[in-house]
Amino acid sequence: MKPDAIAIPLWRQLQTTALVIGAVRSGVSGTAALDDVNSALKPGVQALSFHVWRKLGRAEALRDLLVQRRPTPKTDAILCVALALLWDDRHQTYDSFTLVNQTVEAIKRSNGLAPQANFVNACLRRFLRERSALVAQTDSNLVARWNHPLWWIQRLQHQRPNDWENLLEAANAHAPMTLRANVRNVEPAEYLAVLDAHGISATLHDGGAIVLGSPVPVQMLPGFALGHVSVQDSAAQRAAPLLLSMFGGARQLRVLDACAAPGGKTGHLLELIDGDVTALEIDAERAKKITENLQRLGLRANVLTADAVRLNDWWDGELFDAILLDAPCTASGITRRHPDVRWLRRSTDVGQLARQQQELLQTLWATLKPGGRLVYCTCSIFEEEGTQQVQTFLANNTHAALLPSPGHLMPQNGAKTPLLNDNQPGDHDGFFYALFEKRLA
């Protein structure tokens, strides 16, 4: 038997999942925590972690009913992992008693936690005995009901009083795998036919986004290695066309893609124009991803590693025709793809990131030609990172004009949820877009 054919015991997957959950609780991103997981364990642990993050609010509420005093962080992480997997007996991947036994085994085999095994076993067996009553007690708890932090829920209730429940429902759903065809090589409709010939179900959405019926490994996508297609949500695919839409046939443009990693939007820009594109990224490791992605697409940009607000470190003084600022944000619009984000963020992050966005927008505006255009975007659904940012910028820049823009695109899952106010149809993440033009006095 080959080593990779040996079944990995559930207790080990639960043990590692608890470490990932604990890492996010301590401030590490889910992506980074999962990157540290052994490759053989990673697929199972990632699936378990995503499930737990989508049910963690309920699990923590149940934990509070089962214990008088919260256990140590490592024990609590394993206990909450088990409760997240156990609480809804209608949608369980594993038998309840198997989960309890394997959770206790995970505790016993964790350094320093063995003395907690009887405590965790007693909590979980009590939960199984009283499951219906305990779950009913948590039904009125907003955090348990919606599996988001209370501050997040309250912010949406205030900012989107008519839509907040639909937004949270969409955030808890599973996102589809969406593709962008490289029009230098193949048109979206042509690639759709290629997928069909390979037995891969997909549909073509407005704007050319291709949504797969079920996710597949990228290696199975025809022409992926040759750069014919990229994975990118349909909302994110709107950035490059929006920035370039008003330049007519002009293709030799000087363009800046700020905060560019991992390079999806950089690649899209270069697929549409033969311009001079600079991709700027503050993190050196993430900047490497830009180059790698462009190499697969057969495209080239001037990739720079620098802080965008420190102009003297990277800017040569020549003004840009167009700027794409995909600013750092809370990522509150992509929690269906990254469910860890809701537990990673703190309420204070919103204001801090909004100030960073304002500084980036104001600084990069100075590098834009008169008559040039700048797209400001974030993958956020919070007004502080969208409409409020635009209002502040326009109030402080008399030469800035807001052109027709999508504004807030709220996350939704096609026909599964009601169409939200002022939103496009389809299945997409949450995003915000504003297109500015720099005008003369």
**Where exactly does CATH 1.10.940.10 map onto the chain?**
3-147
Q: Quick one: average pLDDT of 385-409?
A: 95
Q: How does pLDDT run across 305-333, given as a tens digit for each residue?
A: 999 999 999 999 999 999 999 999 999 99
Active-site residue among 123, 259, 377, 379?
379
| Residue 255 confidence (pLDDT) above 50 | yes
What is the pLDDT at residue 411?
Answer: 78
Clarify whether 379 is annotated catalytic.
Answer: yes
At a CB cut-off of 8 Å and minimum separation 6, what does 134 contact? 62, 65, 66, 127
What is the pLDDT at residue 417?
Answer: 39
Spatial distance between the Cα atoms of 212 and 175, rounded to a whole number of angstroms: 11
Q: Quick one: average pLDDT of 285-310?
A: 96
Q: Quick one: average pLDDT of 100-114?
A: 96
Q: Is the dihedral of CA 20, 413, 296, 311 positive or negative?
A: negative
Q: How does pLDDT run across 119-171, given as a tens digit for each residue?
A: 999 999 999 999 999 999 999 999 999 999 999 999 999 999 999 999 999 99
User: What percent of the chain is modeled with pLDDT above 70?
Assistant: 94
| Residue 23 confidence (pLDDT) above 90 | yes
| Residue 173 confidence (pLDDT) above 50 | yes
Q: Quick one: average pLDDT of 220-249?
A: 93
| Residue 180 confidence (pLDDT) above 80 | yes
CATH tag for 250-438 (out of 3.40.50.150, 2.40.430.10, 3.40.50.10680, 3.30.505.50): 3.40.50.150
What is the pLDDT at residue 426?
Answer: 57
| Residue 248 confidence (pLDDT) above 90 | no
* Top-confidence residue, 1 or 72: 72
At residue 425 the predicted structure's pLDDT band, cuts being 50, 70 and 90, is: very low
Query: 219: burial class by Cβ within 10 Å (0-12, 13-18, 19+)?
Result: exposed
Cβ contact 321:370 at 8 Å:
no
What CATH number does the domain located at 178-231 have? 3.30.70.1170
Residue bearing tokens 């997240």: 84
The angle at the Cα of 263, spanning 340 to 307, to the nearest 5 degrees, equals 85
Q: How does pLDDT run across 352-383, given as a tens digit for each residue?
A: 999 999 999 999 999 999 999 999 999 999 99
| Residue 42 confidence (pLDDT) above 50 | yes
At residue 419 the predicted structure's pLDDT band, cuts being 50, 70 and 90, is: very low
At residue 93 the predicted structure's pLDDT band, cuts being 50, 70 and 90, is: confident
Spatial distance between the Cα atoms of 306 and 314, rounded to a whole number of angstroms: 6
Residue bearing tokens 């007004």: 383
| Residue 422 confidence (pLDDT) above 80 | no
Q: Quick one: average pLDDT of 87-94?
A: 86
Q: Quick one: average pLDDT of 17-22?
A: 98
**Where exactly does CATH 3.40.50.150 map onto the chain?**
250-438
pTM for the structure as a whole = 0.91
**Where exactly does CATH 3.30.70.1170 map onto the chain?**
178-231
At residue 413 the predicted structure's pLDDT band, cuts being 50, 70 and 90, is: low
Q: What is the CATH architecture assignment of 3-147? A: Orthogonal Bundle (1.10)
